[in-house]
Structure 1
Amino acid sequence: MGSDVGIMQVDLCGTDPAGAPLHLRWRLVAANGDGPRVPATAAVVLARKLARGELPGCGGARACLDLFTLDEFVDALEGHAITRTVEVA
C-alpha cells in the first residue's frame, strides 16, 4: 500500500577535498497528491529523450545507467508539488 505524498532522503558522509568531515543530506518531498509522479518520472524523461532522438542506438539489453541527469529528472517534476533540498552539515 502506498500513499500519494511522501519523502525520500539520502544522507552521505565522507570528507571534503581538504579532508574535513562532510555530511550532505538530499531530500525530496512530494505533497498535494503528486507522490506517484516521482517513480514515474524516469520513464517520462526517457520517453522525451527517445522522441527527440537523444538516446544511444539500440544494441540489445543494457543497463539504464547514465541515460539522464538528476537535473533532467528534477526539471521534469516542474509545476508539481515536489521540492528538493540539499543540506550541508
Structure 2
Amino acid sequence: MANAVSFTAQIEESVAEIAPVLETVRLKKIRNVAPESKVRVLRADVCQAAQTASNLSVGLGTRLNVMRERVRGLEEAFVASQPSHQP
C-alpha cells in the first residue's frame, strides 16, 4: 500500500508542477479565440480534463488491484509456511 501512496504523491506533485503552465497555455489559447468560439474551447478543455481524470483513475485502480493480488499471495504464503497447531 505504501507504493500506492508514493505513486499518488508523485502524481499530485507532478500535477502541482505543471498546473500553472497548463493554466497559462489555456488562458493564452482562449485569448486568441473569437468570443463565439470560447465556449467550444472551454468545453474541449473540460472534456480533456475528464479524460485525463478517467485515465488516472484507471491507472490507479490497476495498480491497486496488482497490489491486492501481491498482498493476497504473501498472506497465502505466510499461512502455508506456519506450522499446523492441530494434534
TM-score interval, smaller chain: under 0.3
* Greater helix fraction, Structure 1 or Structure 2: 2
Structure having the higher strand fraction is 1
- Structure ID, larger Rg: 2
Higher relative contact order (CA 8 A, sep 6+): 2
